[in-house]
Amino acid sequence: MEEGLSMLAALTAALSAAGLYAGSRHCRWTSWRRIGRAGTWGGTALAVASLLLWTQVLGAGAGFCAMLGSWMFAMIVLPYIAGMRVEHAARGDG
C-alpha cells in the first residue's frame, strides 16, 4: 500500500509542477499558457496534497524532503524539455 501512496505522491508533485509551470509567464508551450492563473492555483493545491501524501508515507521530516525533491526535479525538467522541443521545432527537426 505504501508503494501506491508514494507513487501517487510523486505523480501529484509532478502535476503540481506542471500546473505551476503552465501558470508561469515563462512557459514555452503556448497550449499550456492558456491555463493561466488556474494552473497556479491548481499547482499550489496539488503541492499541498503531495506534501500530505508524502508525510503520510514517510513521516514529517522525510516526507517534506521527499516532496521537495520530487517537486523540484519536475520543476527543473519541465522547462528543459520545453526548451528542447521549441529548439527542435525552430530548426525543423520535429
pLDDT (tens digit, 9 = 90+) per residue, 31-80? Answer: 777 887 888 899 999 999 999 999 999 999 999 999 999 999 999 998 88
**pLDDT above 60 for 94:** no
Alpha carbon distance 81, 72 (integer Å)? 14
> What pLDDT was estimated at residue 85?
65
Of 26 and 87, more confident: 26
Between CA 50 and CA 43, with CA 74 as vertex, the angle to 5 degrees is 50
Report the helix count and the strand count for the chain, using DSSP H and E: 4, 0
Return the closest-CA partner of residue 57 out of 69, 68, 66.
66
> What pLDDT was estimated at residue 16?
95
Return the closest-CA partner of residue 70 out of 14, 20, 16.
14
Alpha carbon distance 79, 57 (integer Å)? 29
Can you give the residue range of the structural domain that contains 79? 2-91
Of 34 and 8, more confident: 8
What is the count of structural domains for the chain?
1
> What pLDDT was estimated at residue 57?
93
